[in-house]
Amino acid sequence: MALARPLFCDITWHPAGDPGGDKPSSTMAMANVMLNYCGLDTVLHVTCCRQSKEEIRQHLDRAKEFGLRNLVALRGGLSLVCVNCFVFSLTLCWGSM
């Protein structure tokens, strides 16, 4: 894939299944492969909806371990049962400063 010389690869967080898990088909695993195996700059879109601050922090820590530095944090649609969740993506940025 790198032979085509794309500027970057964009991987979108898919909430079905386990996007931050260890399965080869997980969003996090695909982003890791694109960056570290294919050698392409990779942008990871992370959906913050229906996840606690701790869950998001775990995903961000894992992305950091893989060397993923280009992230887009999206809130997504709010759930009525969302407790202790991020209301805006900006909250995620300010909370980590």
Q: Answer yes or no: is 46 within a domain.
A: yes
Measure the CA–CA gap between 95 and 36, rounded to whole angstroms.
28
Instruction: Please report, in tens digits, the pLDDT of each residue of the chain (97 residues total).
Output: 767 888 899 998 876 667 777 777 788 999 999 999 989 999 998 887 777 888 888 988 999 999 999 988 876 655 555 555 555 555 555 444 4
Any domain includes 97: no
Domains of the chain: total: 1
pLDDT at 69: 92
Domain that holds residue 71: 2-92
Is there a domain that residue 40 lies in? Answer: yes
